[in-house]
Amino acid sequence: MNRGGILVGTIKHLNAADGDQLRIELMSNEAVQTSAIEGEIVDRDSVQSSLRRQFGLKTDDRRIPPAEQGIAAMMIDLYRSYAEKLTHETMFRWHRLLTNGRRDLKDIGQYRTHPEPMVIASGRYDEPKIHFEAPPSTVVPKEMGRFVDWFNAGASGGPSALPALARAGIAHLHFVSIHPFEDGNGRISRALAEKVLAQSLGLPTLITLSDTIERRRKDYYRALEAANRDNDIDPWLSWFAGTVIDAQQATQVRAECVIEKTKLLDRLRNQLNPRQEKVILRMFQEGPDGFKGGMSAGKYIRIAPTSRATATRDLQDLVEKGALIRKGELKGSRYYIVSIVRGTP
């Protein structure tokens, strides 16, 4: 967990505005990606707008759909209550938020009660891949009582304290294996893992855990399935620990990206026209990976409507000012932010 401490130090060196922006970017990214793992698509801009409102920051007046409101509110709740002991009501509250606007579920904000077997699957609805079957609903309250007791006892200073990575990995696996809710179990299990990591640091983690897992979704489900089938959790813990470490590293890179943005904009203060500034900010919003395939004149026009000739002049001016580098020629020209090492091919 050393990288977690490094990340905290990096964030402390950001000014208030950049710190707020990084916090919003990381939380919205987690909200979008933890939903994507379950095959649910939520709008990133709406999630960010909802997060900004709940943090009391300036935002637009867009109407936020229920799903985006709910996942944003759950991320805020996790951020603010990470240090509190886990309770059944904590998870019921998260479930109510995650299912905001849903009308297709019988049990919302409570453990499942349906008599049918709970089968854990992934993939298309018409061609699902079955991973394992969870315990029947009749035993869920008892199993979750044991889970809550174990979770709290394993905290630092608790009677059965565990190393953070082991506790987070076991919590995730144990919760998913019980699968106590009709829906939303994957998202809540990842939130519980982040709660563990935050408790170990004494601060909200803000790591790109779900983003990293989503990039390895097949391996993720394969590791969960193997752990439930073989009753050997060591391979799962090894996989999960490696994923957390990679997520911390990715978050560190994203934080450094925000710092580079500040440095670049400070250096070019009063030298950019409104179109150029809008495009530069949009490129940084994509994070360390930048735009897939680089910025082009066509993409520039879509972000900052103007003529192709003006877009080409603006981009060349940014190259001359040392903000972008160009790869390719003529219609094949692509532009990348100089300061983002991973943003260049």
Query: For the segment 106-154, what is each residue's pLDDT rounded down to a tens digit?
Result: 999 999 999 988 877 766 666 777 777 889 999 999 999 999 999 999 9
Alpha-carbon distance 252 to 200, whole Å? 18
Alpha-carbon distance 80 to 74, whole Å? 10
- The domain over range 273-343 is classified in CATH as 1.10.10.10: yes
Answer whether 195's CB lies under 8 Å from 167's CB: no
- Calculate the average pLDDT of the chain: 89
Considering the chain, tell me which residue range(s) the CATH 1.10.3290.10 domain(s) occupy: 2-253
Considering the chain, tell me which residue range(s) the CATH 1.10.10.10 domain(s) occupy: 273-343
CATH number of this structure's domain 2-253: 1.10.3290.10
Q: Which of 130-134, 228-232, 237-241 has the highest mean pLDDT?
A: 237-241
Q: What is the pLDDT of residue 289?
A: 64
Answer whether 266's CB lies under 8 Å from 20's CB: no
Q: What is the pLDDT of residue 9?
A: 60
pTM over 0.85: no
Classified as helix, coil or strand, 102 is coil
Q: Is 80 exposed, middle or buried (0-12, 13-18, 19+ CB in 10 A)?
A: exposed
Give yes or no for residue 345 having a pLDDT over 50.
Answer: no
Place of tokens 């699968």: 179
DSSP letter (8 states) at residue 295:
B
Token digits for 31?
Answer: 């909200």
4 pLDDT band, cuts 50/70/90, is low
22 pLDDT band, cuts 50/70/90, is confident
Q: What is the pLDDT of residue 87?
A: 98
With a pLDDT cut of 70, the percent of the chain lying above it is 91
Give every CB contact of residue 207 below 8 A, 6+ residues apart in sequence. 4, 7, 26, 194, 197, 244, 247, 248, 250, 251
